[in-house]
Structure 1
Amino acid sequence: MADNPEALPWLIRLDKFIDDQQHEGITELVVRSNNSQTALNEAVALELLTEAGLASQEATAVRFTFNDSSAKLRLVIENPNDEWVATQFDEESSDAVGQLYKAESTGDWSYRGDDPAEYEEVWDQEAGEDDLAPLTDFLQFVNDSTDEEFAAELATRLDVEAFARYLAVEDLMGNFDDIEGPGNNSYLYFDPDTGQATVVAWDHNLAFSGGVGA
């Protein structure tokens, strides 16, 4: 793959060298890896998430080249960050930005105490004030609460309706690489006013059986 950079996944920051440079309000773009000839599976998956009222990413198909390489059909999507959070969760009129954390493929959802260093390899904060407390508090609740505490407090700590829709849509799309999959693909967003968590979908190039060779 190193000999074919046009086929690699890319993260492009438009404001890396020019302050405030953006395209239609988007500052970070991800050039996705294709596991199908057209990448339509991921494009359709993102549309379905939006139609289901769930947080999703804008996407477009592009003709992608690197220097003088041959052109490849690729799907480009916005990378979740502060601006994405403000738009997706209607925070544009608020002074506060909710925290957004990305689950790493090497991690899990275990509670590792309140030392931020214990989470460096398993979670990455992508938006909001630099603070892991919302995440660690939630993980402690999920892992250490009694059955009675879990039942009584779950609806105040997690957007249960959105999570149920998320699970249903992921199952409908046959996406085995979701929150339960080997890639641990998901984000956790925490509302700045209520502290309630929302599971955010990510990485759908394997949706609709879009595996290697599909």
Structure 2
Amino acid sequence: MKKTILKLSTPLGIMFLSTYLVIGCSKDETTTTTETDQSTNDNTEVVIDDTDFEPTDWTTETHSKDADPDFDEVFDDTAVKRFDFVISEDNWAAMLANMTSLYGTFGRGGGGTNFSDEDPIFVPAEVYYNGKQWYKVGVRFKGNSSLSNTWGSGILKLAFKMDFDEYEDDYPQIKNQRFYGFKKFSLKNNYADKSMLREKVVADIFKNAGLAMSHTAFYTLYVDHGDGPQYFGLYTLVEEVDNTVIDTQFSSDNGNLYKPEDYGASFVDGTFNEDGFEKKTNEDEADWTDIKDLFSALHASTRTTDPTAWRAGLDAVLDTDVFLHYLAVNTVIQNWDTYGRMAHNYYLYNSPDTNKLTWIPWDNNEALQTGNMGGSLPLNFSGLSSSSWPLIGYLYSDSVYKAKYDAYVQDVVYGAFNVNTMQTTYTTYAALIESYATTEVSGYTFLNLSSDFQTAVNTLKTHVSSRASAVSSYLK
């Protein structure tokens, strides 16, 4: 069969060592057509073969859109499960060449200085789980600063995005393919987290506080890109907000969902722009009225002349109770890569239940620590620049909203972030994942020594006690 020759713009010089075996993973090398990535000029080509195949492992429960999401199967808090990806040599080379185009030379050093406005390319992969195969699943690398840092450090434990029907137009056999009722996931690499617990634990904390939040679970990942399965390490599987979160945690998924990112996402007066509030649902409807209404209500002159009217106007467009509850959790646990420091890492959903925008947290691997870039958000926002972060500054300056925030702060340390509960959680999860975390291999790990894992867990245990003390001092 004729095979497409990939033109790699930059020599990668990457060698891969395979030391793990998996039963039943095979590679289809029959290649007849290609799709060229038009978003970059790196000359990478994604190989699409026209081989006729029958999805023999397909069942309604495991593969069909007709099945309800099986949270117990996919997001099991008591087990570490395993994914295997099989990616053709050509498509793996295309992924790496595309990364070089977007983020520079692999192992370049210098930290996360290279950023990209473009997502890495998708390629079709075979995904194996618990003895079953999922066919032509779209997989790509994901992230931005974390992706750039990991790539630049010469570490191949990269985060992935998985979309199970990304290639249904090319392969009608997989139309509406799902993974136990789920269309897509983020498979996060626990970047900058030697405990490998933060993404999972923070999601649990938000959920236990009663807020809308993605489910998470621990998975190991093996990737075969031509030389046999390679252990890529311990990952955290994260439920996608624009898939099952809004479908199962709200009455309907028909509302507008936004993933804000950029200066406008700080809600500074006069900075609204459509690009800063990317629509994840209803994309064909060029309507940002609900976001514009939030800007107008937040910056209304009544904030200083008639606070009661101002609160009524803001409450009509934003679920302020949810936001204040989220803010309390976020500040008690500590977070720096978050609103108030960075204009990203949250979603806004216009809930059909209330016709109000609801805040949904996202990307929490940098929480549970003092942090970088000026440090984590303080409990007391009196010193925060309201002109830079008005959604926090204005609400905290209002006595009614501040009282609600303070009450939630106290609730958090008594409930979702209780010291005794968290100590048990850290101990339980650490015991569950330790053998998988400490056996990650060089080039696919953020650990320098296997002992780094337990040291990081101990730091988390100390941290929760210190936060209880900080809350006690704040509320005096």
2:321 is matched with 161
Q: Report the structure, 1 or 2, having the larger helix content.
A: 2
TM-score in terms of structure 1 length: 0.82
* 1:74 alignment partner, one of 235, 238, 242: 235
Distance apart, 1:154 and its partner CA:
1.9
1:63 is matched with 220
Distance apart, 1:141 and its partner CA:
2.2
Aligned-pair identity in percent equals 26
Describe how 1:17-166 pairs up with structure 2 within 5 A. Answer: 17=167, 18-34=174-190, 35-66=192-223, 67=225, 68-91=229-252, 97-105=254-262, 107-108=264-265, 109-110=267-268, 118-120=273-275, 122-128=276-282, 130=285, 131-147=287-303, 148=306, 149-166=309-326
In 2, Cα distance between equivalents of 1:28 and 1:138: 30
Unaligned regions of 5+ residues in structure 1, if any? Answer: none
In 1, Cα distance between equivalents of 2:151 and 2:353: 45
Distance apart, 1:167 and its partner CA:
0.8
2:165 is matched with 15
After alignment, is 122-131 or 48-57 more displaced? Answer: 122-131
Distance apart, 1:20 and its partner CA:
1.4
Aligned to 2:344, the other structure's residue is in SS state coil
Match for 2:342: what amino acid?
A: P
In 2, Cα distance between equivalents of 1:60 and 1:6: 21
* 1:178 alignment partner, one of 320, 328, 338: 338
Deviations 1:115-154 (A, max 9, x none): xxx422x121112463322222222322345313422312
Structure showing greater Rg: 2
Aligned to 1:206, the other structure's residue is in SS state coil
Distance apart, 1:82 and its partner CA:
4.4
Aligned to 1:137, the other structure's residue is in SS state helix
1:98–1:190 Cα contact (<8 Å) kept: yes
> How many residue pairs end up in the alignment?
206
In 2, Cα distance between equivalents of 1:194 and 1:70: 46
Deviations 1:146-194 (A, max 9, x none): 3134223122222122112101111121112222122521111112353
Distance apart, 1:203 and its partner CA:
0.9
In 2, Cα distance between equivalents of 1:125 and 1:14: 21
How has the CA–CA distance of structure 1 residues 31 and 127 changed in structure 2, closer, same or farther, with 3 Å as cutoff?
same
Distance apart, 1:111 and its partner CA:
5.7
1:82–1:127 Cα contact (<8 Å) kept: no
Distance apart, 1:64 and its partner CA:
1.6
Match for 2:233: what amino acid?
A: K
Q: Could you say which structure has the greater relative contact order, defined with CA pairs below 8 angstroms and 6 or more residues apart?
A: 1
TM-score in terms of structure 2 length: 0.40
Match for 1:127: what amino acid?
A: T
Distance apart, 1:101 and its partner CA:
0.4
Deviations 1:70-119 (A, max 9, x none): 3311111011114321211132xxxx6111101115543246588xxx42
Unaligned regions of 5+ residues in structure 2, if any? Answer: 1-149, 168-173, 373-445, 447-455, 457-476
RMSD (CA atoms): 2.7
1:198 is matched with 358
How has the CA–CA distance of structure 1 residues 82 and 73 changed in structure 2, closer, same or farther, with 3 Å as cutoff?
closer
